[in-house]
Amino acid sequence: MKWSIRGLFPYVFPLIFVVALFSALRMGSIPPAEFTFSNGTEPQTVDPAKSTGAPEGRIINAIFEGLYRKMPDPNDPNDMIPMPGMAKSHEVSDDLKTYTFHMREGAKWTNGEPVTAHDWDFSWMRFLHPESGTQYGYQLWYIKNAKRYTTGDIQPGDRVEVELADRKDSAQMFPRGTMVSGILKKVDTYPEGSSKETSDGGHGEEEASYKVFTVDCVPEKDGVPQWDGETTQRVFYQSGIPQSFLAKHPQAEQARHVLLHFSEVGIKAPDEKTLVIELESPTPYFLELASFYPMYAVNRTCIETFGYPDWTKPENIVTCGPYHIQERRIRDRIRLAKSPTYWNADEVELETIDALAVQSNTTQLNMYMSGQMDWATDIPNSVLDDLKELDKEKKEEPGREKERNDLLIAPMLSTYFYRVNTARPPLDNPKVRQALNLAINKQEIVDFVTRGGQIPAGSLVPPGITGYEGPPTESYDPERARALLKEAMGDKKMRPIQILYNTSEGHKQIAEVIQQQWKRNLHIDVQLRNVEWGVYLTTVREMDYDVARAGWIGDYPDPNTFLDMFVTGGENNETGWSNQEYDDLIESARSEANPEKRFAMLREAEKILVDEMPILPIYFYVSINMVRPYVKNFYPNLQDLHPLHILDIDEEQREKIREWEGLE
């Protein structure tokens, strides 16, 4: 290369042969894609309802599309806003509680079926179903009765849907078993006031109760319940009920679910081209939620034909986005190819894209520097200063003065933090958690580890949300940390604790620094546990950890996207922490129309979170990407979102850059 890379010598040249060999083996017989980027770890799923991370989100955003999708603002491309997707337009009622979406003409699934409003009726029902396994179900609880449907909150007089226990495959949520509709007459508990019956007919010590539902069932015509028709009373029970009950009630029928009837949920498709959403209360960021990839629709025919997870295999999957999955090699790449059925295919420039599964940021850097990658999403923190100098030297070359930098660093609506398992003593004591927080020198971490301009965090919600200011927080104070730990533990020694993190040099470096700080400041023995992404997700979800690395990118520019994670039992809580006052504040903020009052409620809730410390905020992110200057339409933004279908390549500039850098 003509420009100096002396600072990167230890990273680039020793591995250049390895990278070349590695790339050749990975490529096999596949010709190179037009655009190649690192997607980090192997995506765990491409099912929108079951996905949670950025590696999944990048792929899902490329192969599916929502009612709306996040796109660069035409007035400021560094700002991402919801733009029409599968819905060509929408309108909102005067009371701000009803959204009417008008579907786009001519939009098709890759199996040739039209994309209609009924796809969202089905997909959001699947998303909200208690068996869905989604961690984002609560994001649609703004819709009327959606929470009641998910949680099974039903009362006598409610319209209900009963799924009988006759599924062909009990492990698959779809197709469902026989469905029965009716009016809930009563709910009884059996055996009332009794303990759990054992297999020998005796009673054990564990108290247990079983619900029995009496339903006035209505007839159906063409699959539509006839609510004014003649009813037939039936009794339903769910699995696990004692045999003694069945002996006394032989007419009782086993049901897999008894839920609020989905027709009571505020999701209606009166025809193929119209979707009407009724909310519990005004939700200013609902359009942002409709643009969030877990809310994208899926194809019912595909899911009911193949079931999960087989429907997501490349040979089975049916999609509607700008790209489709042409090939997938596990722990290697996902090859995306332009979809000819996409409604806006004429505006999609790149024919093929490779999303590489590369966890090592050192490998990413080497592949980028050797011309094997156009976009690196993670690079070693230790070389940031050298890369900045490299960009500066590069622009001193004749003809390159106006060239965009390769290294793009920008503010980001995201927080790096540690979850604490509050169900494990002594981490169940807030003073212990406060001590752990005060014993972390976060300034040291951002100055000497991350080195990208990150800001030490005392709270969860990052700066940048207009009108919101978080509560005051305490900074690094080892002496107070030791005093708090002494108050909590008395004369007992703090047991060893373990930090869990997913595979990444950056996560490892941060964990090592915190390990040293806790040992130095609190005399705690700390073990480190590194696992791959899928194991990490499962381990955290099962709460099999002491302290676990975490990060959260705001799904929309509002403090609620961070704070509503930690309500009691929240799918993304995963700390075991519960606080009724916190829950009440988050719930009250949902229905508060006054922005100032609403932000005050959320600030009060965040103060409770900071005081009780079920999480340890470390720093507020900046986005760090290395992108070739010939890549067009790549804009840094607060959510670090970069839609693949708007990217393009300046071929003339690419040839020049490759010649300048000796990559031809």
pLDDT tens-place string over residues 77-120: 999 999 999 999 999 999 999 999 999 999 999 999 999 999 99
Range of the domain at 533: 410-622
Q: Would you say residue 253 lies in a domain? A: yes
Q: How far apart are CA 90 and CA 14, in angstroms?
A: 56
Confidence (pLDDT) at 316: 97
Find tokens 């786009």 and name the residue. 104
- The string of pLDDT tens digits covering residues 169-221 is 888 888 899 999 999 999 998 876 544 443 334 444 344 678 899 999 999 99
Q: What's 416's domain CATH number?
A: 3.10.105.10
- CB 553 within 8 Å of CB 639: yes
Question: Among residues 250, 265, 280, which one ends one of the domains?
Answer: 265
Confidence (pLDDT) at 459: 96
Structure token pair of residue 137? 């179900």
Q: Would you say residue 477 lies in a domain? A: yes
Question: Among residues 240, 265, 290, which one ends one of the domains?
Answer: 265
- CB 495 within 8 Å of CB 518: no
Find tokens 């799904």 and name the residue. 555
Amino acid, single-letter form, for residue 268: K
Cβ atoms within 10 Å of 245's Cβ, excluding its own: 16
Confidence (pLDDT) at 238: 86
The phi, psi pair for 99, rounded to 5°, reads: -110, 130
Q: Would you say residue 304 lies in a domain? A: no
Q: How far apart are CA 95 and CA 109, in angstroms?
A: 34
Q: What is the 3-state secondary structure (H, E, C) of 68-98?
A: EEEEEECCEEEEEEEEECCEEEEEECCCCCE
- CB 488 within 8 Å of CB 422: no
Q: Is 482 left (phi over 0), alpha (psi -120 to 50) or beta?
A: alpha
Q: Would you say residue 138 lies in a domain? A: no
Give the 3-state secondary structure of residue 587: helix
The phi, psi pair for 92, rounded to 5°, reads: -120, 140
Question: Among residues 237, 265, 293, which one ends one of the domains?
Answer: 265
- What sign for the dihedral angle of Cα 371, 372, 373, 378? negative
Confidence (pLDDT) at 172: 86
Give the 3-state secondary structure of residue 608: helix
pTM of the model: 0.88
Count of domains observed in the chain: 2
Within the chain, which residues score under 50 in pLDDT?
A: 1-7, 9, 13, 16-21, 23-25, 27, 194-207
Confidence (pLDDT) at 661: 83
Q: Would you say residue 488 lies in a domain? A: yes
